[in-house]
Amino acid sequence: MGISQPTASRIIAALEKKVGVALLTRTTRGVTLTEAGSDYLVRAEAILAALDEADHAARGTGELRGLLRIALSPQFALRVIIPRIRAFSDAHPHLRIEFILNDEKQDLVSDSVDVALRVGVLGDTSAVARKLGVAHRVLAASPDYLERAGVPKIPSDLSRHTIIVGPGGRGLEGWAFRKDGKTTSVRVEGRFILSTAEGATAAAVAGLGIVSSGLPGMLREIEGGELVRVLPNWEMGSADIHAVVPAGRAAKPSARAFVEFIATDLRDSPPGGS
């Protein structure tokens, strides 16, 4: 915010004195919110959001201003969201947009996130979520790898192959497949384990093995021939795409407008064409 650390400390100390409770816990390793601080922040942000809403309504122009903080995974940002938002950005030239990119799920309150886009199971059931679409999960490998190791014909063949595991596959005991109404599960162990989905896709392109990922995360490589679908006649299920806002917080007008824009765009042009 352009202020010094001592100035920030004095402002916070004055606020804590006014409300009569510690809002932050200070240690040599850092500063974190207390339980009272977290509750105070949520309530204060709701008030600020209401003020932002009042300003927005008073202008009556539909123009959005300020800063919109969006949290999502790097791969989903680079491959799905950023290529789609130019029209939204052009419509609101005075709105600043900050992307918080992390394959780990961010804490919406402590990271001051206005809206998060998440693919897969939602961990925080108290958050307010809106389903935006579906990302189908697929297997893929490079043509070079399949030429060297052979092409799996049925799911059980995967036990003889090198497996690449990204963040979405960590902690899973196996991969489930469905065909002709029947379900089968294959236990897999990753030889290459990567903390980012984009890294897992790159490992597959490099010929290191077979990777499982959402189709949007590999579509460009599949269409370009760098990767080939493996077991394409078997379904691996799908992951829901949600927009999430923190519980107890009124969504900013910019956050609501962004979610509506992305929901419409994903409905009209689904990621992966599905």
Residue 46 belongs to a domain: yes
Q: In the predicted model, is pLDDT for residue 274 greater than 70?
A: no
Which residue type sits at 79? Answer: R
Among candidate residues 13, 42, 63, the one where a domain is terminated: 63
Range of the domain at 48: 1-63
Measured between its terminal Cα atoms, the distance across the chain in Å is: 42
pLDDT, tens digit, 9 for 90 and up, residues 165-210: 988 665 566 789 999 989 999 988 889 999 888 999 999 999 999 9
Is 150 inside a domain boundary? yes
Give domain status of residue 227, yes or no: yes
206: domain CATH number is 3.40.190.290
Mean per-residue pLDDT of the chain: 87
Has residue 210 been placed in a domain?
yes
The pLDDT tens digits of the residues spanning 21-63 come to 999 998 888 888 898 998 888 778 767 777 776 776 676 666 7
Site of tokens 């932050």: 24
Query: Beta partners for 250?
Result: none
pLDDT tens by residue, 150-167 = 999 999 999 999 999 988
C-alpha to C-alpha distance for 83 and 14, rounded to whole angstroms: 44
pTM of the model: 0.74
What CATH number corresponds to the domain at position 32?
A: 1.10.10.10
